[in-house]
Amino acid sequence: MRVSIVTLFPELFEPLLRTSMIGRATEGPLEVEAVDLRTFGLGKHRSVDDTPYGGGSGMVLRVEPIVAALEAIDERAQAAGKPPAHRVLLTPQGQPFNQATAQALAAEPHVALICGRYEGFDERVRSFVHREVSLGDFVMTGGEVAAMAVIEATSRLLPGVLGNETSSHSESFSDALEGGLEYPQYTRPAEFRGQAVPEVLSSGNHAHVDAWRKARVRERTSARRPDLVRESGGVARKIDVALVHHPVLDRDGGIVTTAMTNLDLHDISRSTVAYGGEALWIVHPIEAQRELARRIQAHWVEGSGKRRIPDRATALERVRVASSLEEVIAELGGRDAIEIWTTAANARDRTVVTYEDARKRLTSPGKRVLLLFGTGWGLAQTLHEEAEVRLEPIAGAPASTYNHLSVRAACAITLDRLIAARPRDKGDR
């Protein structure tokens, strides 16, 4: 792997390239060159920056010297019969650098790292790079430290760099740990000031040690970095969705039975499958309504609907029909085998569970979750009282007093907040 660093301070990299693992790597699979941006500066003073258009403090790196440096790097590579560089702009505005990024860059034969200074780059530089990377949500004087971090993280993934080739396989964020945090490590002494090494680690039973480590990975990642659990899709429990048509409320708070709708069946089954649910249970006490659900399902799973829209069959295959919630619970192994989850009717309920806490529960092994959604004006209070978990209500925009979502929308929003594999803002609404 060849790394070209475009920087105003090439001398900063000399100690790094002589030291420890990086020093060994440069004797083997890693080749690094520090390209002085000042060499490509303009005029007799080799100027690389200028004042910003529109006014403002500080100086901005000009586009011409940076592009000239990148083109010179590629010209030298081409002359040597080597591939052009994969260009990486180091900027606080880039995508967060993580282990997946390190792995992707380590697979590139040639990478160019572009270090910023001053107030940043001329915006037009971005059109000449392939990737923008940020070391985190903070600002430094320049990109040199970020470049060193990228070199450190990528080079250790190259064959022959680490003394033990397998040591990187079980580190934090590795595939072996499903992207999670590494398990606790211990060495001698066996006890220090009252803190003993867990007995399982000295038991000699490798299966027990492996199970202990996997459990600690889940616990530590869930507690300290729940965002990593969501990114890796680390839901440890099975989830079923039940659409309840009785007992539900009417607008006056009375107990009623509602009619099943074709749209609910289609949309909620699609949401269930999209978020990894086991099944969508259509709960209705009236046989004619249950038969209607079966006919709709058959049309899309076995009939002409499957030939016309095959993806719809994938969703409708997960539909199950039951006459009551008790029947669903029995099919899932009985009341002791499941947890019932509902969404609280109002924010004044002091027993509600936040989505953040609910996600943590889902990442730890436990009972199968049966997630209830009510048609009409919502589930009867008796069903909320039976639930082990009542999720916080779904709220819209802070300034909006309108809160009348369809059950289809409520289901999709709830599943997304519980399971979706992507980072979220601080807190959910």
What DSSP string describes 383-418?
HHHH-SEEEPPP---TT-------HHHHHHHHHHHH
Q: 38: domain range?
A: 2-155
The DSSP element (H or E) to which 2 belongs, if any, is strand 2-7
| Higher-scoring residue by pLDDT: 230, 21 | 21
Same domain, 256 and 400: yes
Q: Does the residue 217 lie in any domain?
A: no
Q: Does the residue 365 lie in any domain?
A: yes
Segment 278-293 mean pLDDT: 97
Which amino acid does the sequence have at 264? D
Same domain, 28 and 143: yes
Same domain, 289 and 413: yes
Strand order of the β-sheet with 110-114 is 31-36, 2-7, 110-114, 86-96, 131-134
- Provide the pLDDT for residue 173: 67
Q: How does pLDDT run across 133-191, given as a tens digit for each residue?
A: 999 989 899 999 999 999 999 999 999 898 666 555 556 666 556 678 889 999 999 99
Q: Is the pLDDT of residue 1 over 80?
A: yes
Residue that is last in its domain, among 155, 181, 202: 155
Number of domains the chain contains: 2
Q: How does pLDDT run across 386-427, given as a tens digit for each residue?
A: 999 999 998 888 778 887 899 999 999 999 999 875 444 434
Residue 131: give its domain's CATH number. Answer: 3.40.1280.10
Q: Does the residue 309 lie in any domain?
A: yes
The Cβ-side half-sphere exposure at 309, using a 13 Å CA radius, reads 9
Segment 60-88 mean pLDDT: 97
The helix/strand/coil state of 371 is: strand
Report the distance separating Cα 226 and Cα 215, nearest Å.
15
Q: How does pLDDT run across 348-391, given as a tens digit for each residue?
A: 666 799 998 898 888 777 889 999 999 999 999 999 999 999 99
Residue that is last in its domain, among 134, 155, 176: 155
Same domain, 268 and 402: yes
Residue that is last in its domain, among 155, 188, 214: 155
Please, which pLDDT band fits residue 306 given cuts at 50, 70 and 90?
A: confident
Please say whether the beta carbons of 48 and 37 come within 8 A: yes
Alpha carbon separation from 422 to 81, 121, 131, 224, 392 (Å, rounded)? 40, 29, 20, 16, 20
Same domain, 149 and 56: yes
Q: Does the residue 163 lie in any domain?
A: no
The helix/strand/coil state of 25 is: helix
Please say whether the beta carbons of 378 and 250 come within 8 A: no
Q: Does the residue 14 lie in any domain?
A: yes
Report the distance separating Cα 67 and Cα 76, nearest Å.
14
Q: Does the residue 141 lie in any domain?
A: yes
Same domain, 276 and 396: yes
Q: Does the residue 208 lie in any domain?
A: no
- Provide the pLDDT for residue 427: 42
Beta bridge partners of 60: 50
Please, which pLDDT band fits residue 121 given cuts at 50, 70 and 90?
A: very high
Same domain, 101 and 244: no
Same domain, 263 and 411: yes
Q: Does the residue 316 lie in any domain?
A: yes
Please say whether the beta carbons of 258 and 374 come within 8 A: no
Whether this model's pTM surpasses 0.75: no
Query: What proportion of the chain, given as a percentage, has pLDDT over 90?
Result: 72
